């Protein structure tokens, strides 16, 4: 199958060697990759351009301003949707693919031809207790070990997602005004319009969690600020209960592994505060 990958990157020079090495482990599959450099101030663009020169399986789209992952993905989609690709794979620059990740997406699209969107498990990679908590809290819908099957009313994250082009033609691109949560908004719209979403348990992707407390808190605060804007249940603006569970799950897992660590209370407090941000936003 004719496949294209889209990978946004900003100041990712430390993560790129691991991602690029994992990408090379998928050479048994036929694919082309578009990297989008989001006005990086480090060596990200240079690393990507050198890799593309060496491997001749990709190119770099350089943007002169930071606009966020949704806009970066849309910039590459504007190019991809004009070509003849069977499906489009989305990954992040802080991911690490398994040796058969792309091949598993291939097989799933062949076997589940009615599915417009296919996602796989996200394996958490962390070095600190904070990273462990962030991992438990981040990918609740796509854990390793979950059985394959169609997804009902939940989303799959854009760090391990593949989408058929006709889906974008039907429901549009990613919402560029969202700083985070564009995957939830996109999958919610797919559910609303009746597009099947399938979880393929063999399409495993690793993701580096946020090992620093500040990074983890900012991420979950962003969820609290943005999720209420696109979550609708039966026509009403309501709190996204799934997100609340996610925040509490990360906090409780942190407490179970590090019960005496004072930072766990701070981490849990800010995750909870983020979820209440959803409640408040839902009301106003």
CB-count exposure of residue 105 (10 Å: 0-12, 13-18, 19+): buried
Alpha carbon distance 87, 222 (integer Å): 29
- Per-residue pLDDT, 135: 81
Q: Tens of pLDDT along 218-270?
A: 777 776 666 656 554 433 334 445 545 554 554 455 445 444 443 444 444 44
Same domain, 118 and 239: no
Alpha carbon distance 123, 187 (integer Å): 21
Same domain, 217 and 192: no
CATH code where residue 138 lies: 3.90.550.10
Alpha carbon distance 199, 197 (integer Å): 7
Same domain, 146 and 228: no
Give the mean pLDDT of the chain. Answer: 82
pLDDT at 186 over 70: yes
Q: What is the CA radius of gyration of the chain?
A: 18
In the predicted model, what is the mean pLDDT of residues 146-150?
93
Q: Tens of pLDDT along 1-60?
A: 689 999 999 999 999 999 999 999 998 778 999 999 999 999 999 999 999 999 999 999
Which of 169, 185, 210 is the endpoint of a domain? 210
In the predicted model, what is the mean pLDDT of residues 139-144?
74
Alpha carbon distance 53, 240 (integer Å): 45
State which residues form the domain around 150. 3-210
User: pTM of the prediction?
Assistant: 0.81
- Per-residue pLDDT, 33: 97
In the predicted model, what is the mean pLDDT of residues 77-92?
94
How many domains is the chain built from? Answer: 2
Which of 210, 236, 269 is the endpoint of a domain? 210
- Per-residue pLDDT, 30: 85
Same domain, 223 and 278: yes
- Per-residue pLDDT, 144: 81
């Amino acid at each position: 199958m004719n496949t294209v990958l889209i990978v946004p990157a900003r100041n990712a020079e430390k993560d790129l060697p691991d991602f690029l090495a994992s990408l090379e482990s998928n050479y048994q599959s036929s694919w082309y990759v578009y990297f989008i450099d989001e006005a990086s101030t480090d060596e990200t663009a240079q690393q990507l351009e050198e890799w593309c020169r060496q491997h001749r399986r990709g190119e770099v789209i350089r943007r002169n301003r930071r606009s966020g992952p949704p806009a970066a993905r849309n910039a590459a989609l504007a190019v991809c949707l004009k070509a003849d690709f069977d499906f489009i794979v989305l990954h992040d620059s802080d991911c690490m693919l398994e040796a058969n990740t792309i091949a598993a997406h291939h097989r799933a699209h062949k076997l589940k031809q009615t599915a417009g969107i296919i996602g796989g498990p996200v394996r958490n990679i962390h070095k600190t207790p904070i990273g462990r908590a962030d991992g438990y809290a981040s990918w609740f819908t796509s854990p390793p070990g979950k059985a394959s099957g169609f997804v009902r009313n939940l989303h799959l994250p854009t760090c391990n997602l593949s989408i058929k082009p006709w889906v974008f033609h039907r429901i549009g691109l990613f919402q560029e005004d969202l700083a985070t949560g564009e995957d939830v908004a996109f999958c919610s719209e797919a559910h609303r319009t009746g597009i099947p979403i399938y979880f393929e348990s063999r399409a495993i992707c690793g993701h580096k969690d946020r090992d620093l407390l500040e990074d983890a808190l900012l991420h979950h605060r962003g969820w609290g600020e943005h999720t209420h804007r696109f979550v609708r249940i039966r026509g009403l603006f309501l709190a996204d209960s799934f997100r609340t569970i996610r925040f509490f799950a990360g906090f409780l897992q942190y407490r179970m592994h590090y019960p005496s660590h004072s930072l766990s209370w701070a981490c849990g407090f800010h995750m909870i505060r983020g979820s209440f941000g959803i409640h408040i936003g839902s009301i106003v």
